[in-house]
Chain A
Amino acid sequence: EVQLMQSGAEVKNPGESLRISCKGSGYSFPSHWIGWVRQMPGKGLEWMGTIYPGDSNVRYSPSFQGQVTISVDKSINTAYLQWGSLKASDSAIYYCARQWGTTTRQDYNLFDPWGQGTQVTVSS
């Protein structure tokens, strides 16, 4: 069974750094893109960025470029999302999801399955 397991909830102070993780299992981790999606309280889903574990190629949404860093350690089938200096507005649930498609076109990709989500709370 294809699964993505995310790290647990975090409570941080503004200005602190944070890295959350997403571990894949049940499939060839290096061969499938992993995307990160944010859900702010009471809001919808927003694509943040996507990484290809095979070569660590990353694509960022313009809205998140420079705000977060996406990385991967394919030796342990794990992708990461990190912040250098958290703000209160970073409080949200963050999901990772495997991206794949029925064609070779990456832009046709969907998100499936999803991790269980990581709640990040930033408050002083």
Chain B
Amino acid sequence: AQKITQTQPGMFVQEKEAVTLDCTYDTSDQSYGLFWYKQPSSGEMIFLIYQGSYDEQNATEGRYSLNFQKARKSTNLVISASQLGDSAMYFCAMRETHSTGNQFYFGTGTSLTVIP
């Protein structure tokens, strides 16, 4: 079974609008971390935001916020006030604290295009 599922291969958003990128995960661990990365065409993976499984508040980092629904095992990324520079691939990732050591599991990504 896939550990991380991103069901939106591609998304379009108008500049200055908000967009939600979906991510669901699968784990039997009680303790885990959820991450979002941005990958521009240059290839570098840029860390955006983190949510711990025990965190009660949804994480926020500037224009990025997470809609974390633990019971549904989903952690959707919300980008507010989209900018042209937000056009990139976005990857959701998970690290299980106990089961699988230190590796991250990544989804297949969502390609976001911001339209002027």
Q: Do A and B come from one complex?
A: no
Measured CB to CB, the residues of A under 8 A from B are: none
